[in-house]
Amino acid sequence: MNPNQTFLHNTLNGQQIASLQFLKALPKTELHLHLEGSLEPELMLKLAKRNNITLPYASVEAVREAYDFHNLQSFLDIYYQCADVLQTEQDFYDLTWAYLLKCQEEGIVHVEPFFDPQTHTARGLDFKIAITGIYNALKDGEKKLSISFGLIMSFLRHLTEEEAFECLEQAQPFLSYIVGVGLDSSEQGNPPEKFTKLFQAAAEQGLKRVAHAGEEGPSTYIETALDTLTVQRVDHGVRCTEDDKLIERLIREQIPLTVCPLSNTKLKVYEHMSEHPIVGLLERGVNVTVNSDDPAFFGGYLLANYMALVNDLNLNRAQAAQLAANSVSSSFLNDNQKQIHLNKIKDLTQ
């Protein structure tokens, strides 16, 4: 093949399109990942068998066929049902370890995953089962795979603030296991301000704060997450595109948005990836990052999300490197740890 052809094929307006190899080599963090959403059908069926649980699916294919969502709630209904197979500390360990192996394959150097304790305590599991299994796997990942971590405990926003306070109370003996708290589940009708007192209590306990806002809910939820929950990051936040003043604020204050492209198309926030605003927001100076949300349900892990941007939005190397750098600088790593990863990204782009 004429080498010029390859060159032309890989460039657009003089900018080199990011290759899979380049994306993999970039040190990346993942800041928006629900561990329960990384439960692959194969492991789900294995755990169902191990725990004598009957699922409405007979095969891996049947599970995948059920993953045909039309909005957030249609996904959440299946997602909570699938979590039933997680019963023991070992199950949570296996789930987390499988995710960490994926991270290693994809060049992810640091993770800040979510878990939803209330999904499990509501089924009668002791609070400590999920957190201990997850934490042990993350510690092993740090030792054996050199992947650092900060675990985030998420509250379910469709439940009451009082129930969330009970969850925070149960977490007290394990505060050293978590870096912060989050807010997820059904967004519309459950605005951030429903949890103002809870997030204030979490802040007083020295915990970082993040919240899903502006995924399906209106852009005003992004503002109230910032102003009433005092969050350091907004999860999703893509509906900021409806309010120019808000975009200006996000740029001015460099608020990180943990964006999840494949999730947004799978849950029909956008019909097609070509409509996704992430690259446009990046170009305007918004601090956006790429994440996989619930990769086992949405068709791909972090690199698949980057590749979707390459294929449908012509993501170039400079943009990819900026997204990776944003993921590092928006993490809860300390400044020294951030600098090590940022230097490597800089070396790769020279």
| Residues that are catalytic | 215
CB of 317 to ligand ADE, least distance (A): 29
Distance, in Å, from the CA atom of 163 to the CA atom of 152, rounded to the nearest integer, reads 18
Cβ-contact 37, 79 below 8 angstroms: yes
Q: Cβ–Cβ contacts within 10 Å for residue 109, how many?
A: 24
Q: Helices in the chain by DSSP H: which ranges?
A: 3-9, 20-25, 41-50, 60-66, 72-82, 89-106, 117-121, 127-145, 161-170, 196-204, 220-228, 244-253, 261-266, 278-284, 295-298, 302-313, 317-329, 335-349
184 binds ligand ADE (CB under 6 A): yes
- Position with the least CB separation from ligand ADE: 184
Q: Which is nearer to ligand ADE, 213 or 282 (CB)?
A: 213
Report the DSSP pairing between strands 208-213 and 151-156: unpaired
CB of 213 to ligand ADE, least distance (A): 10
Q: If contact means CB under 5 to 8 A according to the sort of partner, which of Zn ion, ligand ADE, none does residue 40 touch?
A: none
Site stretch for Zn ion (CB under 5 A), options 53-61, 94-102, 146-154, 285-293: 285-293
Q: If contact means CB under 5 to 8 A according to the sort of partner, which of Zn ion, ligand ADE, none does residue 72 touch?
A: ligand ADE
Give the residue from 114, 94, 79 showing the smallest Cα distance to 46: 94
185 binds ligand ADE (CB under 6 A): yes
Binding mask 66-95 for ligand ADE (x = CB under 6 A): ------x------x----------------
Give the residue from 330, 335, 276 showing the smallest Cα distance to 308: 276
CB of 343 to ligand ADE, least distance (A): 33
According to CB under 6 A, which one of 27, 29, 33, 37 is a site residue for ligand ADE? 37
CB of 263 to Zn ion, least distance (A): 7
Element (H, E) at 15: strand 15-16
Q: If contact means CB under 5 to 8 A according to the sort of partner, which of Zn ion, ligand ADE, none does residue 149 touch?
A: none
Q: Which is nearer to ligand ADE, 81 or 254 (CB)?
A: 81
Binding mask 254-293 for ligand ADE (x = CB under 6 A): ---------x-----------------------------x
DSSP 178-244: EEEEEEES--TT--GGGGHHHHHHHHHTT-EEEEEESSSS-THHHHHHHHHS--SEEEE-GGGGG-H
According to CB under 5 A, which one of 102, 293, 317, 345 is a site residue for Zn ion? 293
The amino acid sitting at 330 is S
According to CB under 6 A, which one of 91, 209, 294, 324 is a site residue for ligand ADE? 294
Q: Which is nearer to ligand ADE, 75 or 332 (CB)?
A: 75
112 binds ligand ADE (CB under 6 A): no
Q: How far is CA 137 from CA 35, 132, 143, 344, in A?
A: 12, 9, 10, 26
3-state secondary structure at position 30: strand
According to CB under 6 A, which one of 102, 212, 233, 341 is a site residue for ligand ADE? 212
Would you tell me the crossing angle of helices 127-145 and 89-106 to the nearest 10 degrees?
A: 30
According to CB under 6 A, which one of 22, 29, 30, 34 is a site residue for ligand ADE? 34
Site stretch for Zn ion (CB under 5 A), options 6-14, 43-51, 289-297, 324-332: 289-297
Q: Cβ–Cβ contacts within 10 Å for residue 347, how many?
A: 8
Site stretch for Zn ion (CB under 5 A), options 117-125, 163-171, 293-301, 305-313: 293-301
Distance, in Å, from the CA atom of 280 to the CA atom of 190, rounded to the nearest integer, reads 29
Binding mask 167-186 for Zn ion (x = CB under 5 A): --------------------
> In the complex, which residues of this chain contact ligand ADE (CB under 6 A)?
34, 37, 72, 79, 184-185, 212, 215, 263, 293-294
